[in-house]
Amino acid sequence: MTINMLEPWDENIALQKERQLCAGDVQTIKTSCIKDHATKHPIECPDCWTRLLNRIRDRYLNSASKEWFSGRRPFLLELDTMFSKAHTFEVDFKTIEQRIFDEKKEWYRDKVKNLGLQHAAKSPSEERILQQRINDRSITADQLASELREAFSDGAVQNQEAFNGFIERLKLAQSSQARNDAYIDIFFQPNHDPSGAARSQKYIDMVRNGMPITDAISTMIRDRHSAKGDQEQKQALHEKLEELKRAKAAHELDKARRDKARQDKARAAAPAHGLHDLPPCLVCSKIPDIQDFIICPLCQILGAYYGLRIKPAIFCSRDCEGQRYESHVNATHECASGERCVRLHDEDVEMDDGGSVLVFCRECTETLRIPSTFCSSRCFNENFQRHRDNVHLPERKSAQREINDETQLEFDPADETRYQARKIEEHLVTFDDAMTEWQRKTGAIVK
């Protein structure tokens, strides 16, 4: 009989370290983003937002150590999809946290079943009842934990305290001898039961000489069986092992509950600093509901699709959108033609075929990283030379980028210094096309 008891303790310690490392890295990203990029939160900075999401994603999908979620492939695939959607604010962190918490409760149920805690019941009838309850998926994990605690109520608090102290000793142990002393104290309790420890001196010496505790316990059980020794000693040993199993299961569930409670408290106390928070409403400065807010579609496309550094305009309601949206567009997304915009000189421009469709300059948005927006393809076409001479050519020179696009130009035979685009469609992307492509790539649905 082999009882694998060593690995779970080391695994528990490793999990605590991984959680602390991830939390530290996330805080470092937030602090550096606020300091170096003059933002209130990484959600306003596409690069830092991506780094932050990827760090938390790596905590679960690229963990270097064995953790509770290791091997739960369907859950990890679902989590990967949720993190991808978080990049475009389709899924918020509260939803992701709840999904992780729910999965951990299911893991707890599986762990209870695999540990065989039902075998430690006080009677065969209680064992059968617990086995049925563990197999019944309609019973919640919280209810199952409550029933387990009730079934194993004798000394439950004391056992959990002993388990916590045992874990702390292993974390602080600097040598194998220190770890062995911790195992001796928890399994044989020489200070609390000197006579019992004296009868187990042979096995205590085995542990002190380097034998793994699981092997020593297995040897003890085999000796008892072969010698048909004292039944009370065998039962006491068995009870100690089962008590530790129960304490470990209770510890895992309590830890998950405390983590969830801390997260809820942090969100309630400091909503402006949560990972899932949005910038305040542009009109009333109210913090929008992460599940129900309105974002300027031009800001969304320029920021999420083209990856430009655009501070998104967020509205908490339709009323606020109606008050400020038009002025926001006029101020932030003004036609790049400026005073030469055809709308200022031609009152009938919106009556033209397709004349009111917004377009982006392809070279500016895709290469130069400039959010150049025009009120229409006609406006872009009529102001193409001025835009190319004043924006494209200086930016190319500054970046030492050579682009030979003269074959796309049509020069005036009477004055070769004047030209226009041979096909203006080659130099633009319509807002509708950009929105459609963004939806196709991300799976987002725009209402």
What pLDDT, in 10s, does the model give residues 53-79? 999 999 999 987 778 888 889 999 999
More confident residue, 366 or 159: 366
Q: Are 280 and 286 in contact (CB under 8 A)?
A: yes
- Decide if pLDDT at 234 tops 70: no
Confidence grade of residue 142 (pLDDT, cut at 50, 70, 90): low
Distance from C-alpha of 58 to C-alpha of 445, rounded to nearest angstrom? 27
Residue matched to tokens 């080391």:
10
Local structure of residue 65 (DSSP, 8 states): S
- Are 190 and 197 within 8 A, CB to CB? yes
Do 61 and 296 contact (CB within 8 A), yes or no? no
- Model confidence band, residue 425 (pLDDT cutoffs 50, 70, 90): very high
Q: Does pLDDT of 115 surpass 80? A: no
Residue 240 and residue 395: Cα distance in Å, rounded? 75
pLDDT over threshold 80, residue 360: yes
pLDDT for the residue 212:
81
Mean pLDDT calculated for residue range 400-425: 90
Q: Residue 92's closest CA among 298, 270, 259, 274?
A: 274
SS (H, E, C) 134-145: HHCCCCCHHHHH
Q: What is the rounded distance in angstroms from the CA atom of residue 131 to the CA atom of residue 114?
A: 11
pLDDT of residue 126: 72
Spatial distance between the Cα atoms of 184 and 155, rounded to a whole number of angstroms: 20
What's the pLDDT tens digit per position in 306-331?
A: 989 888 899 999 999 999 999 999 88
Asked whether the beta carbons of 229 and 141 are under 8 A apart, the reply is no
- Tell me which of 112 and 377 has the higher pLDDT: 377
* Helix spans in 270-391 (H): 297-300, 318-332, 362-363, 377-382, 384-387
